[in-house]
Amino acid sequence: MDPTLPLLTTLTDRSATGVALAIGRLISTGTLAPGDKLPSIRAVADELGLSPTTVSESWRILQGHGAIETEGRRGTFVRGPRQGAAPGRYWQVPVDPGTFATDLSTGTPDPQLLPPLGPILSQVTLDLPVTSYLDAPVLPELGANLRMSWPFEPELLTIVDGAQDGLDRLVQALVNVGDCVVVNEPAFPPLLDMFDQAGARVIGVSMDDEGCCPESLSAALAEDPVVFFLQPRAHNPTGITMTKRRAKQLASLLETTTLTVVEDDHSADVSGADLASLGQFLPERVVHIRSFSKSHGPDLRLAAVGGAAAPIDTMVRRRRLGPSWSSRLLQQVLLNMLHDPETCAAIDRAQDEYLRRRRSLVEALAARDIAVGGDAGLNLWVPVIDEQNALVVLAANGFGASPGEPFSVAQGTGSPHIRVSIGAVDDGIDELADVIARAATTPRNGPRS
List the domain boundaries for the chain.
4-78, 90-110+343-440, 126-339
- pLDDT tens string for the chain (449 positions)? 466 666 666 677 888 888 887 887 787 777 888 888 888 888 888 888 889 899 888 888 887 777 888 877 788 888 865 555 556 776 666 656 667 788 898 888 999 999 999 889 888 776 666 666 777 889 999 999 999 999 999 999 999 999 999 999 999 999 976 788 999 999 999 999 999 888 788 999 999 999 999 999 999 999 999 999 999 999 999 999 999 999 999 999 999 999 999 999 999 999 999 999 999 999 999 999 999 999 999 999 999 999 999 999 999 999 988 888 999 889 999 999 999 999 999 999 999 999 999 999 999 999 999 999 999 999 999 999 999 999 999 999 999 999 999 999 986 667 899 999 998 888 899 999 999 999 999 887 655 55
Burial class (CB in 10 A: 0-12, 13-18, 19+), 88: middle
CATH classification for the domain delimited by 4-78, as one of 1.10.150.20, 3.40.190.10, 3.40.30.10, 1.10.10.10: 1.10.10.10
What is the architecture, at CATH level 2, of domain 126-339?
3-Layer(aba) Sandwich (3.40)
The 3-state DSSP class for residue 210 equals coil
What pLDDT shows up at residue 106?
A: 85
Give how far Cα 194 sits from Cα of 24, 146, 190, 261, Å.
24, 27, 6, 16
Predicted local distance difference test score (pLDDT) of residue 46: 86
Helix, strand, coil % over all residues of the chain, rounded to 5? 40, 15, 45
**Residue 73 CB neighbours (<10 A):** 5
Helix 328-339 / helix 140-149 crossing angle, nearest 10 deg: 50
Give the E-state strand segments of 270-348 in sequence order.
Answer: 286-291, 303-307
Residues 90 and 358: their CA atoms lie apart, in Å, by 24
Question: Is the pTM higher than 0.85?
Answer: no
d(CA 149, CA 261): 20
The third-level CATH classification (topology) of the domain covering 90-110+343-440 is Aspartate Aminotransferase, domain 1 (3.90.1150)
Q: What is the pLDDT of residue 127?
A: 64
What letters, b where the CB count within 10 A reaches 16 and e where it falls short, cover 98-116?
Answer: eebebbbbbbebbeebbbe
pLDDT of residue 155: 97
